């Protein structure tokens, strides 16, 4: 049996290859983005587009990270760099896209109430497949 009530000695997690991990993560994310894009579902497409943007930034940063440039920077510089990149991404991608979709897809976030609506329950029309994580 693999569980014992006496505390088990902590085994360190096996060392990961940063290159392999980065490649795997970026590839998986791009594949997921592509699949969701192809689904043609409007809201998911928007999400996929944004995800692609995030991953693009990841791609740019991957070689930098691989060559250890970020690691050699002092911690505070690394944090500033991360915040700068994410802030830029946010302003460039989210704000304009947000403005575009706010009228349509994001009705659930609209302020105010619908006095004429009889109910806010949303009927479920289909069951999502447990075969996939979305």
Residues found near other proteins in the complex (CB under 8 A): 1-5, 7, 11, 13-14, 24-25, 28-29, 32, 36, 43-44, 46-47, 50-51, 54, 58, 82-83, 86-87, 90-91, 94-95, 97-99, 101-102, 105-106, 108-109, 111-114, 117-124, 127-128, 130-134
DSSP 7: P
Closest distance between other proteins and the C-beta of residue 90, in Å? Answer: 5
80 alpha-carbon distance from chain centroid: 21
Q: Which is nearer to other proteins, 72 or 126 (CB)?
A: 126
59 burial (CB, 10 Å; 0-12 / 13-18 / 19+) is middle
Q: Which is nearer to other proteins, 74 or 120 (CB)?
A: 120
Alpha-carbon gap, residue 27 to 23, rounded angstroms: 6
Closest distance between other proteins and the C-beta of residue 97, in Å? Answer: 6
């Amino acid at each position: 049996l693999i569980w014992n009530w006496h505390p088990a000695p902590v085994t360190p997690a096996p060392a990961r290859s940063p290159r392999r991990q980065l490649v795997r993560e970026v590839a998986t994310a791009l594949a997921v983005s592509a699949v969701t894009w192809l689904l043609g579902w409007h809201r998911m497409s928007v999400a996929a587009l944004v995800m692609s943007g995030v991953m693009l930034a990841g791609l740019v940063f991957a070689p930098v990270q691989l060559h250890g440039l970020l690691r050699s920077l002092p911690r505070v510089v690394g944090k500033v760099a991360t915040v700068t990149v994410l802030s830029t991404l946010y302003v460039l991608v989210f704000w304009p896209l947000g403005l575009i979709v706010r009228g349509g897809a994001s009705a659930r976030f609209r302020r105010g109430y619908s006095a004429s609506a009889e109910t806010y329950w949303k009927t479920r029309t289909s069951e999502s497949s447990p075969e996939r994580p979305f």
